[in-house]
């Protein structure tokens, strides 16, 4: 009997679902632990609460855990019950694994594939629904868009929304500004990233690891933290409402330096030694050896840089206060101001502007998505 239990447990552990269930078991324990802490906090605070307070005032004086311990307890119990049920189903499936016929196993395998496709299609539809809703909203009238019960398909296609947007705002100028800033940001991040990654991956100098740790530390600092000093510097040099003000603060990416360093470290040193024998210098080694051998990663960085530059909103909104230098992401938000004073907000035309803004990104991703996946996987292998 103990041997049979050990064999059953071994079969369960060999299943990928076993680790998933263990993870959710840990989640349920965390939820119930927080619920217990909240219950203790609730009792302590209620004992020290002043008399005569209204329920609203009592709730305002309670801590976060004290007010939500019941919800945490219910969530923990639900997750725990699901985990227990999952373990029971996994044990039953593991027990009968060797006792079913080969044909039954094949049928179970087919059913598993079907379920995987169903889940994948469901997740895909959920992810794509916001894009679908934006597209169909751009083809509706403003009246239909504001109906209490939304329609999943336009009653009448309003193709005129797109030319109306072009007439209301200088979208051609926004597009030109976005292309210029994105192009120079992409070139800057590639050149600086390649040179810095070569130094960190193949260079030998004092403080190399310490400097690289500083670069990694920059990944944890959001732009909102460094916004004020950068804005002050850009303002003092007179780059507000200018292309240098939009481009220069975005010429370096710590994340891309990290990716390229990992890709360069994966290149064997013998290739560089062969290049040195042929008389190549550092730039020659980078251009003729490292760049061709890490082309998928470089293509990935170029694509991601283009997407980030195209969608960049926070910094252009702060630096560009005139239409001459606004990018397309900021320009879409400006559409709302062009409808000020109207009886009905033309959200349909705002959606049309958003559709025109994302079309290049979607096409670029659909065409080059294989390079993104290849570059990411190669950068993560070292």
* Residue that finishes a domain, picked among 99, 128, 153: 99
**211 or 346: whose pLDDT is higher?**
211
Largest Cα–Cα distance of the chain, in whole Å? 88
Q: Tell me whether residue 321 is in a domain.
A: yes
- What does the pLDDT average to over 1-22? 62
Q: Tell me whether residue 149 is in a domain.
A: no
Shared domain check, 229 and 311: yes
- Dihedral Cα 105, 108, 109, 114, nearest 10 deg: 160
Q: How far is C-alpha 344 from the geometric centre of its chain's CA atoms?
A: 34
Structure tokens that stand for 194 in this block: 């390649």
Q: According to the model, what pLDDT value does residue 7 have?
A: 60
Q: According to the model, what pLDDT value does residue 184 have?
A: 92
Shared domain check, 290 and 195: yes
Shared domain check, 311 and 207: yes
Shared domain check, 170 and 88: no
Closest CA to 309 of 382, 243, 264: 243
Shared domain check, 242 and 169: yes
Name the domain count of the chain: 2
Query: In sequence order, which residues have a C-beta less than 8 Å from that of residue 148 and are 6 or more positions away?
Result: none
Shared domain check, 264 and 183: yes
pLDDT tens for 350-368 read 888 888 888 888 887 777 7
Q: According to the model, what pLDDT value does residue 121 have?
A: 92
Whole-structure pTM value: 0.66
Q: According to the model, what pLDDT value does residue 378 have?
A: 54
pLDDT of residue 201 exceeding 60: yes
- What does the pLDDT average to over 96-104? 62
pLDDT of residue 96 exceeding 70: no
Shared domain check, 195 and 68: no
127-139 CB burial, b ≥16 within 10 A, e <16: eeeeeeeebbbbb
Summary mean pLDDT of the chain: 81
Q: What are phi and psi of 149, to 5 degrees?
A: -105, 110
Q: According to the model, what pLDDT value does residue 3 have?
A: 47
Shared domain check, 190 and 330: yes
Q: Up-side HSE of residue 254: CA atoms within 13 Å toward CB? A: 13
pLDDT of residue 341 exceeding 60: no
pLDDT of residue 288 exceeding 50: yes
Q: Tell me whether residue 62 is in a domain.
A: yes
Q: Tell me whether residue 150 is in a domain.
A: no
pLDDT of residue 162 exceeding 70: yes
pLDDT tens for 218-255 read 878 777 788 888 888 999 998 898 899 989 988 888 88
Q: Tell me whether residue 294 is in a domain.
A: yes
Q: Tell me whether residue 314 is in a domain.
A: yes
Shared domain check, 171 and 78: no
Percentage of the chain with pLDDT > 70? Answer: 86
- Dihedral Cα 245, 248, 250, 251, nearest 10 deg: 160
* Residue that finishes a domain, picked among 73, 99, 125: 99
pLDDT of residue 126 exceeding 80: yes
Percentage of the chain with pLDDT > 90? Answer: 3
Q: According to the model, what pLDDT value does residue 224 have?
A: 74
Shared domain check, 190 and 80: no
Q: Tell me whether residue 278 is in a domain.
A: yes
Shared domain check, 87 and 170: no
CB 212 within 8 A of CB 260: no
Shared domain check, 205 and 79: no
Q: Is 144 exposed, middle or buried (0-12, 13-18, 19+ CB in 10 A)?
A: middle
Q: Tell me whether residue 365 is in a domain.
A: yes
CA–CA separation, 252 vs 271, rounded Å? Answer: 28
Q: Which of 94-98, 104-108, 186-190 shows the lowest mean pLDDT across its residues?
A: 94-98
pLDDT of residue 380 exceeding 80: no
CA–CA separation, 136 vs 348, rounded Å? Answer: 9
Q: What are phi and psi of 235, to 5 degrees?
A: -65, -40
* Residue that finishes a domain, picked among 43, 72, 99: 99
Could you tell me the residue range of the domain that residue 238 belongs to?
A: 164-381
Q: According to the model, what pLDDT value does residue 4 have?
A: 47
CATH at residue 268? 1.10.3720.10
Alpha helices in 138-222 (DSSP H): 142-145, 161-168, 171-202, 208-218
pLDDT tens for 299-331 read 888 888 888 888 888 888 888 888 888 888 888
3-state helix, strand, coil in the chain (%, to 5): 80, 0, 20
**55 or 37: whose pLDDT is higher?**
37
């Amino acid at each position: 009997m103990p041997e049979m239990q050990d064999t059953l447990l071994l079969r369960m552990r060999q299943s990928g679902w076993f680790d998933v269930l263990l993870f959710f078991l840990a989640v349920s324990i965390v939820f119930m632990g927080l619920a217990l802490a909240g219950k203790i906090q609730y009792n302590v605070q209620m004992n020290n609460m002043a008399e005569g307070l209204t329920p609203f005032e009592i709730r305002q004086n309670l801590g976060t855990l004290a007010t939500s311990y019941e919800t945490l307890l219910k969530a923990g119990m639900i997750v725990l019950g699901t985990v227990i049920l999952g373990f029971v189903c996994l044990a039953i499936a593991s027990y009968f694994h060797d006792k079913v016929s080969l044909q039954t196993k094949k049928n179970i395998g087919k059913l598993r594939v079907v379920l995987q496709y169903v889940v994948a299609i469901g997740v895909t539809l959920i992810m794509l629904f916001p894009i679908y809703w934006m597209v169909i909203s751009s083809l509706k009238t403003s009246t239909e868009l504001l109906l209490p019960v939304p329609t999943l398909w336009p009653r009448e296609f309003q193709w005129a929304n797109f030319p109306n947007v072009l007439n209301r705002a200088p979208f051609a100028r926004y597009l030109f500004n976005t292309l210029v800033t994105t192009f120079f940001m992409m070139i800057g991040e590639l050149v600086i990233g390649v040179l810095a990654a070569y130094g960190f991956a193949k260079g030998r100098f004092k403080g190399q690891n310490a400097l690289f740790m500083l670069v990694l530390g920059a990944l944890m600092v959001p732009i909102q933290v460094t916004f004020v000093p950068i804005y002050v510097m850009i303002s003092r040099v007179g780059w507000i409402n200018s292309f240098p003000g939009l481009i220069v603060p975005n010429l370096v990416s710590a994340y891309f330096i990290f990716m390229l360093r990992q890709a360069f470290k994966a290149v064997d040193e013998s290739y560089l030694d062969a290049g040195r024998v042929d008389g190549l210098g550092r730039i020659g080694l980078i251009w003729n050896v490292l760049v061709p051998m890490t082309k998928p990663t470089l293509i990935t960085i170029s694509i991601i840089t283009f997407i980030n530059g195209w969608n960049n909103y926070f910094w252009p909104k702060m630096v560009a206060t005139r239409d001459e230098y606004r990018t397309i992401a900021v320009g879409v938000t400006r559409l709302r101001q062009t409808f000020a004073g109207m009886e009905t907000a033309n959200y349909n035309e705002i959606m049309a502007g958003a559709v025109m803004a994302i079309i290049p990104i979607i096409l670029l991703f659909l065409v080059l998505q294989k390079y993104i996946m290849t570059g990411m996987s190669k950068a993560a292998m070292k």
